[in-house]
Structure 1
Amino acid sequence: MAEKIAILVDSGSDLPENLRRKYGIWTMNLRIIYGKEVYEDGTDITAQTVYSRFPQQIPKTSTPNLMEVKETVEKIRQKGYRKLIAICISSGLSGTFNTVKTALREYTDMETFVFDSKSISMGTGIFALWTAKAIEKGMSFSEITAALLHKQNDSKVYYYMDTLDYLRAGGRIGKVTGLIGKVLGIKPIISCNEEGIYYTVSLLRGKKSGIQRLLEILKKHCPRGNIWLALMNGDAAKEADNVRRQLPKILPNAKLIVNKAITASLAVHTGPGLIGVCMFCAD
């Protein structure tokens, strides 16, 4: 019989609602802030709303605070859970990991594990999905947590970005080359490094070249084995559909398990025109 293990993520993990409901995954919402206007990510604001207010209004985002994390954990406890795995977006991009880790230290009567995915969006969410399936298969808490540490580098996400303006405005530029893209109109492909910080993978001139290069990178770096894919877009549904049609040709043994628009909190920092693909070795 499968152990009773709760999975906790924040909305920056970008897991689709149908999968969160199917596997009972608990979610803490980030917030999008326009001055005195505060919205809950994925609840009362969409990415499309954020895009519609660009470029005149660029909001800020905030992570769940210590009290909010504790309130969520209490709800989990009330449902009878005494084992909890929290899957967090990269500590190099967000404070969620440290906040959750601090909050869970107080729950000495629970077995807890906080995992720093060193990634973002479905690069994080796909770990939560794997964890849910592992619980379903009957893996124990200790087996799953040990496996997650071993799988740290099994998730890789690449983003084609139409602009770096919003990444720069939000202070998330990391090791991404910003000035070149601004001056020359060059389009970047970025990813997260081993520290979970954005870096430049490639720089190209023009959207068509950028998306073609993204596909080449995916083909070159796709690992062997049971590969899951997640396709994300930020106000670029048409371009994402074009990528979707090409994925079976370049990655014939991979399975597309998620295809979605990114959540509002991610739209804030990436702007319109984003295409992202996550590759995950599910073995």
Structure 2
Amino acid sequence: MQEKIIVMADSCCDVGRDLQEKYNIRVLPVHVIYPEREYEDGVDIDPKTIYQRFPDEIPTTSMPSPGEILDFLEKLREEGYTHCISVNISDHLSGTVNNVQAVAGEVEGLTTYVYNTKDISFGSGVYAVYAAKLVREGVPFDEICRRMEEKREDSHLMFYMDTLDYLKKGGRIGNVAFMIANVLHMKPIIACDPDGVYYTVAKIRGARKGKQRVIDEIAKRVGDRKCWLAVLHGDDEEEGKRTVEMIRERIPQGELIYFNQINASLAVNTGPGLIGVLAFVEP
């Protein structure tokens, strides 16, 4: 039987609508919870709403339930897909990947490969784009899975954070780290380590120096290799555009494939003023 392959990603992978449409990527929404109701990330709530309700209202988030995931996968099977590649953020940052893994085997007629990226945001989402590009090129399912395993060390994403307030309120950092950074007026650069856990790459005084350090760190990891590039921002499109120009100058062999506002569920824990830079080497 001929394979019909679909790529899905949870919404914390930050695959924007343009990329979803271009590469036929389906997105499983995370929930954003306000007192009045629960919203589905990217469906009935967008990041602008989150920023408009800051700082007085800071919502929480929750992963999709096993039942929602089962319904999502069964719908893909009903559309005629025989194979699914599920791209998910780190299991240390969300339980979604574990829920998908638990449910996937229950859908008869749909073979699902669950990929734990050990990253977040477009550091994860770039793997969905990579997989979908291979699908479009006619690469068989098993070969795509093998190639994705080989690319595990090739996605490099770092975030400059203008404030730690939202990470602190979301329980992502401890009181001591928060107090020290605030007292010293330090701006952190964060990334995920190989296990998919947040760590601090550096702490810099001054926004401009911080963003330049992000680009320098990414450039060190890329070297002279070809790569895909992406820039994400937190409610600051103009600063995002300036960062695009900086990284194009620093990594001229890179191809910018994505520039966007960070999604709603991630905005909850990062707040305004964030800049993220990604490089995916040798795509």
Give the superposition deviation at 1:46: 1.7
Within-5 A mapping of 1:190-201: 190-201=190-201
Within-5 A mapping of 1:100-249: 100-173=100-173, 177-249=177-249
Please name the residue that 1:63 is paired with. Answer: 63
Within-5 A mapping of 1:81-92: 81-92=81-92
1:255 and 2:249 aligned: no
In the alignment, the residues of structure 2 paired with residue 111 and residue 92 of structure 1 have an alpha-carbon distance, to the nearest angstrom, of 25
Give the superposition deviation at 1:196: 0.6
In the alignment, the residues of structure 2 paired with residue 126 and residue 138 of structure 1 have an alpha-carbon distance, to the nearest angstrom, of 19
Give the superposition deviation at 1:271: 0.5
Give the superposition deviation at 1:215: 2.0
Helix, strand or coil at the partner of 1:45: coil
Please name the residue that 1:38 is paired with. Answer: 38
Give the superposition deviation at 1:83: 0.7
Give a deviation string over 1:13-62, Cα, whole Å, max 9, x none. Answer: 11121221122211111111112321111122221211121121110001
Give a deviation string over 1:56-97, Cα, whole Å, max 9, x none. Answer: 111000111000000001110101111111000111111110
Please name the residue that 1:26 is paired with. Answer: 26
Please name the residue that 2:12 is paired with. Answer: 12
Give the superposition deviation at 1:161: 0.3
Runs of 4+ in 1 over 6 A off after TM superposition: none
Contact 2:74 2:107 in 1 (8 A): no
- Give unmatched runs, 5+ long, in structure 1: none
Contact 1:30 1:61 in 2 (8 A): yes
In the alignment, the residues of structure 1 paired with residue 264 and residue 109 of structure 2 have an alpha-carbon distance, to the nearest angstrom, of 35
In the alignment, the residues of structure 2 paired with residue 34 and residue 231 of structure 1 have an alpha-carbon distance, to the nearest angstrom, of 28
Counterpart code for 1:127: Y
Contact 1:177 1:200 in 2 (8 A): no
**Cα-Cα RMSD:** 1.8
Counterpart code for 1:279: A
Give the superposition deviation at 1:105: 2.1
Counterpart code for 2:164: L
Give the superposition deviation at 1:201: 0.3
In the alignment, the residues of structure 2 paired with residue 8 and residue 58 of structure 1 have an alpha-carbon distance, to the nearest angstrom, of 28
Helix, strand or coil at the partner of 2:119: coil
Q: Which stretch of the first structure deviates more once superposed, 51-60 or 196-205?
A: 51-60
Helix, strand or coil at the partner of 1:178: helix
Counterpart code for 2:278: C
In the alignment, the residues of structure 2 paired with residue 229 and residue 180 of structure 1 have an alpha-carbon distance, to the nearest angstrom, of 32
- Give unmatched runs, 5+ long, in structure 2: none
Give the superposition deviation at 1:172: 2.4
Contact 2:161 2:275 in 1 (8 A): yes
Helix, strand or coil at the partner of 1:143: helix
Contact 1:230 1:277 in 2 (8 A): yes
Give a deviation string over 1:175-203, Cα, whole Å, max 9, x none. Answer: x9433212222100000001111100010
Identity %: 42
In the alignment, the residues of structure 2 paired with residue 219 and residue 149 of structure 1 have an alpha-carbon distance, to the nearest angstrom, of 23
Give the superposition deviation at 1:240: 1.1
In the alignment, the residues of structure 1 paired with residue 8 and residue 242 of structure 2 have an alpha-carbon distance, to the nearest angstrom, of 33
In the alignment, the residues of structure 2 paired with residue 78 and residue 282 of structure 1 have an alpha-carbon distance, to the nearest angstrom, of 35
Helix, strand or coil at the partner of 2:9: strand
Q: How does the TM-score come out when normalised to structure 2?
A: 0.95
